[in-house]
Amino acid sequence: MFKRVLIANRGEIAIRVARAAASLGVDSVAIFTRADAMSLHTKLAGASREIGGDAVRGYLDIEAVIDAAKASGCDCVHPGYGFLSENTLFAERCEAEGLRFIGPSPASLKLFGDKVEARAFAEAQGIPVIPGAPKLASGDEAKAKAKAIGYPVMLKASAGGGGRGMRAVARPEEMDEAFARCQGEAEAAFGDRALFLEKIVPRPRHIEVQVLGDGQGNVVHLFERDCSVQLRNQKVVEVAPAPNLDAGLRQRILADAVKLARAATYENAGTVEFLVNPETGEHFFIECNPRIQVEHTITEQVMGFDLVEAQ
């Protein structure tokens, strides 16, 4: 068991990590910027350290976070969600400094951080993906690919997430403007302009599977959550288990989630996401989030299992 964890986050997830650490007999150290000096997570951790930067940028400063961990005598770092949780460089720096990154390996972060590569990886495992086209060089190329696939299509940022960098395109004449806007959003949000497209699945169900892996090829799932109720491609309501889901379809989705994680020699907690065509019963892999999710508490309530302790 680790002896002291640096909590590289704030708010609800930082509180959860502090409580999970305490329940396991692990010391915890919270970091905070000046704006968060009185925040609850600083009171619940065993100790706390101020780091520089404003309310947001301080938590994104890799070297400041690592310096805080080393100065506090920590042997591991829990990144929570958001901020540095999916940052491959941060995971690599932790490894180089002898700090255990409580999350997936840098290789998994890199693979699943690129949605185009993740699609190709899933397809190579025989897992169905939505018909689409890989990274696009221009709006003209996007129009040609969309014509071959059939409208309507969804433009997506390869490095995207959280509903950002996505735009539906119903007709060829909409593509140039949509491509430029989507590319700008992707660069602003993720620092990566790369886009790809997928055919739109009409009125889909969005099903995500909670997985845990040990990095040795052993993977389990903790069943699924239905996150179909969304606003602007962002989840609003989650239900677990997914209601009115055909038993055979549920088993296929769960099996594909485990297959994907096992093929990637996945370690720690992750969420494998699928779209389901309600008319045909087909399911399609769309992405894997290589971290604990905001929505993990839904699974915990249903399963009676502490995912942060498991991490």
So which residues are the catalytic ones? 291
Query: 3-class SS at 291?
Result: coil
Burial class (CB in 10 A: 0-12, 13-18, 19+), 13: buried
Torsion of CA 7, 11, 12, 17, to 10 degrees: 10
Beta carbons of 268 and 80 less than 8 angstroms apart: no
* Secondary structure class of 208 (helix, strand, coil): strand
In terms of Cα–Cα distance, which of 22, 24, 15, 20 is closest to 32? 15
| φ/ψ (deg, to 5) at 166 | -130, 145
Distance (Å, rounded) from C-alpha 207 to C-alpha 227?
A: 6
DSSP assigned state of 241: S
Q: How far apart are the first and last CA of the chain?
A: 11
At residue 148, what is the residue type? Answer: A
- What Cα–Cα distance (Å) separates residue 52 from each residue in 41, 45, 79, 86, 161? 17, 19, 17, 21, 27
Type of residue found at 90 = F
How many residues comprise the chain?
A: 311
Q: In 3-state terms, what secondary structure has residue 224?
A: strand
Say how many C-beta atoms besides its own lie within 10 A of residue 200's C-beta: 18
Token output for 290: 């290589």
